[in-house]
Amino acid sequence: MQKSYNFDKVTDRRGTNALKVEALQARYGSTDLIPLWVADMDFETPPFIVNALRTRVEHPIFGYTQLPPQYWPLVVGWLKERHGWTVKEEWLCYISGIVTGIGLALNLFTDRDDKVIIQPPVYHPFRLVPQANRRTVVYNPLRLSDGRYEMDFEQLEQLIDDKCKLLILANPHNPGGVVWSRETLQRLAAICARRRVLVIADEIHADMALYGNRHIPFASVSEEAAQNSITFNAPSKTFNIAGLISSFAVIPNDAIRARFYSWLQANELNVPTIFSAVATEAAYTHGREWLRQMLAYVEGNFAFVESFLAEHIPAIRPMKPEASFLVWLDCHRLGLGHAALVNLFVGRAKLALNDGEMFGVGGEGFMRLNIGTPRSVLETAMKRLKAAVEELGQQRS
């Protein structure tokens, strides 16, 4: 009999050191906000993962541990089944977080005076990590066309010079939720290969394609892409286990792989924790039905938000995500500057969202909403936002 999972359950995360809750005061100056910002979900981690962890905890020794023999075959099988991507086990390596992986690759494959290309508006560590490592970040802004982002290849060609060594790709895109087409990825791969720019593909939202869309791994679109890329992925967003640090890298190219993985091994940066291995094995063994139901619930959440905004706050238009539980809200029609827009959501509506400016050029006038939460929480949030917009309108009139 098929198990039904309950995504309506509201679970109090206070007292668990959850960043989404415990950092509200430091980040927003208040604790009485509905946290809809950090990109983890408020759904409970699936019971098959919790049970696997509980079973392991019952053994009272947590010494040095090797990966189980079925670990990498499970990852290979998952990538093949979910994304049609055939990878070899030797292409794979554990990495202690995708942002960490970007930083490690950055330090190994670039020098201090090199340039790193990003495509804003985009996940802000793509900018912050290179800058903190004293690399120069250059921008290939996305173009917004009919409510969907597209890559500007003409500007990219003009941008690239001999100092451009890396391009960091969000695939699917965060915050816009775009599932990039095969043609787009092939064209990007051809340009980067010809201009000798290594592509770092962050594919952490890969498993969360919505509405019949299908994620296409960057390295799968052509031999050029495979031989000029490092892909980072993880079960963490998919199964809400970000705190367990369960990421992995995929590198088809022999020379790039040997250079990166030997460096990771030399510094013992390629060894998973006990619990990340246990959780990953459980997720990729038992997670298919839970994932199906969770994605259907997220689609229902978006339908609710879209309908509510259209009826009550038509000045805010949500970009329909093709992947992920993150929704990019276009707030330009409110006619507010950045500070006033943030105050509307945080100060008036008591909602903690990520403001668009943090995602860089083109993010102005947007807010990023996390809908990976029980619908009752979203209902309360939308009612608060409606009241805040109405109050603002009354004050303007």
Residue 367, domain CATH: 3.90.1150.10
Q: What pLDDT is attached to residue 371?
A: 98
> How large is the greatest C-alpha to C-alpha distance in the chain, in angstroms?
68
pLDDT at 1: 63
Q: How many CA atoms lie within 13 A of 48 on its CB side?
A: 15
- The answer to whether residues 282 and 353 belong to one domain is no
Read off the pLDDT band of 380 (50, 70, 90): very high
Are residue 43 and residue 77 in the same domain, yes or no?
no
> Is residue 397 pLDDT above 90, yes or no?
no
Asked whether the beta carbons of 71 and 277 are under 8 A apart, the reply is: yes
In a domain, 293, yes or no: yes
Q: Domain range holding 264?
A: 62-286
Q: Is residue 316 a part of any domain in this protein?
A: yes
Instruction: Give the whole-angstrom CA distance, residue 33 versus residue 343.
Output: 12
Give residue-wise pLDDT tens across range 73-98: 999 999 999 999 999 999 999 999 99
Pairing of strands 92-95, 247-250: antiparallel
- Tell whether 90 and 146 lie within a shared domain: yes
Residues 253 and 311 in one domain: no
From 286, 317, 342, the end of a domain falls on: 286
| pTM, 2 dp | 0.97
In this structure, are 157 and 197 located in the same domain?
Answer: yes
Overall average pLDDT of the 301-311 stretch: 98
* Same domain for 111 and 206: yes
Task: Give 394's pLDDT tier (boundaries 50, 70, 90).
Answer: confident
Strand ranges across the sheet with 354-355: 317-319, 326-330, 366-370, 354-355
The answer on 248 and 150 residing in a single domain is yes
Provide the pLDDT for residue 101.
Answer: 97
Instruction: Note whether residue 5 is domain-resident.
Output: no
